[in-house]
Amino acid sequence: MGQGVITMAHGAGGSVMQGLIKKYIVSALGGSGVEVPLEALDDAAVIHGIVLKSDSYTVKPLFFPGGDIGSLSIAGTINDISVMGAEPLALASGFILEEGFALEDLQRVLLSMKAASSSAGVPVITGDTKVMERGAIDKIAINISGVGIRNEALDSNIAVVKKHRMFEGRWLVDSGIRPGDKIILSGTIGDHGIAVLSARQGYGFETKVTSDAAPLNKMISKVLRVGGVVKMKDPTRGGLANLLNEWSEKSKVGVLIHEEKLPIKEGVRAACEMLGLDPLEIGNEGKIALAVIPQKVDEIVEVLHSTEEGKDAQLVGEATEEFDMVAMETVVGGRRIVAPPVGDPVPRIC
């Protein structure tokens, strides 16, 4: 039976949250036997060729530089479906509203959702609203679920991988990375988390950094058409450190990244230094990491560079059999372990 109570760390994307999901949620609800099931803890599930994803958004504050809870919610769910190698088709929305929440703010959030969904070409086609008493919830929480179908370029993408090495399964999953695969980042890290923090009361620092929240389905389709992608994943809560540790654990490979190659904006670096944060652990909402076969690195980086969202893409590391953890070669020449964060140092960023 359960003991104790939920703490903020249970929602923070690190090892405490992973523990909650495995010990409680998977053990109660897992075991469906579908193609990519709950217990895979991947970005989305797959059943009868349909990719299904649900995600809830509780970001604080609701409005921040570069976005708001509305645009964020659309982007987050679309990206989780897309990284599986799927084409998102439609979304479902659930709103939980606090008594006293300004209708003007609700309308602003809805218009922002509409703009994001139109730009991605993925409509919201059903939904639900509930209201809770004042104090029972903080203004608004949004759930966005979505469905997708196999991306038309996924088969040709996998065929390119198979020309060079073994590849099992029909989807891009966390457990498919092998030693020798290269790791590409689609752009700068830490922007979203730092932008949200800068708008949060009590932190009081000024920055030009804006959130990167954006739907990436169109960029992802372009990359799949090149071929050679083994897995993609969005470094949201827990940041790149959490993402790479998930890959390392599920694929049973080591991952080595090179600090000097990590794209990080000066404003993010400065804010992290001031607040004692590690940019590797800060969440992003408009970036993906890609594991690709070495033969296609140059072409994939080139295609990423041709898109607005991927213009700062960079090869940052590789999977290795030398060790079984995540390590970083630092700018001064040493190596340090990149541990999975215990919890996101910045709670409620999504």
**What residue ranges bind Mg ion (CB under 5 A)?**
43, 80, 234
Q: What is the three-class DSSP state of 52? A: strand
Cβ closer to Mg ion: 227 or 239? 239
Tell me how far, at minimum, the Cβ of 162 lies from Mg ion, in Å. Answer: 25
Inter-residue contact 289 to 185 (CB < 8 Å):
yes
With vertex at residue 54, the alpha carbon angle to CA 343 and CA 192, rounded to the nearest 5 degrees, is 45
Inter-residue contact 17 to 9 (CB < 8 Å):
yes
Tell me how far, at minimum, the Cβ of 10 lies from Mg ion, in Å. Answer: 18
Cβ closer to Mg ion: 43 or 344? 43
Nearest to 169 by CA among 178, 158, 160, 153: 158
Cβ closer to Mg ion: 285 or 318? 285
Cβ closer to Mg ion: 234 or 318? 234
Cβ closer to Mg ion: 80 or 212? 80
Nearest to 281 by CA among 349, 209, 212, 205: 349
With vertex at residue 109, the alpha carbon angle to CA 103 and CA 115, rounded to the nearest 5 degrees, is 135
Cβ closer to Mg ion: 176 or 267? 176
Tell me how far, at minimum, the Cβ of 288 lies from Mg ion, in Å. Answer: 9
Residue of minimal Cβ distance to Mg ion? 43
Tell me how far, at minimum, the Cβ of 8 lies from Mg ion, in Å. Answer: 20
Tell me how far, at minimum, the Cβ of 277 lies from Mg ion, in Å. Answer: 21
Neighbours of 211 (CB within 10 A): 26
Neighbours of 122 (CB within 10 A): 24
Tell me how far, at minimum, the Cβ of 295 lies from Mg ion, in Å. Answer: 26
Tell me how far, at minimum, the Cβ of 46 lies from Mg ion, in Å. Answer: 14
With vertex at residue 187, the alpha carbon angle to CA 186 and CA 191, rounded to the nearest 5 degrees, is 135
Residue with tokens 């929480």: 141
Residue with tokens 């090869």: 315
Tell me how far, at minimum, the Cβ of 103 lies from Mg ion, in Å. Answer: 32
CA–CA separation, 257 and 250 (whole Å): 18
CA–CA separation, 40 and 176 (whole Å): 12
Cβ closer to Mg ion: 43 or 259? 43
Cβ closer to Mg ion: 234 or 281? 234
Nearest to 256 by CA among 321, 313, 192: 321
Q: Which residues pair with 51 in a beta bridge?
A: 46, 148
The pair of structure tokens assigned to 25 is: 């949620």
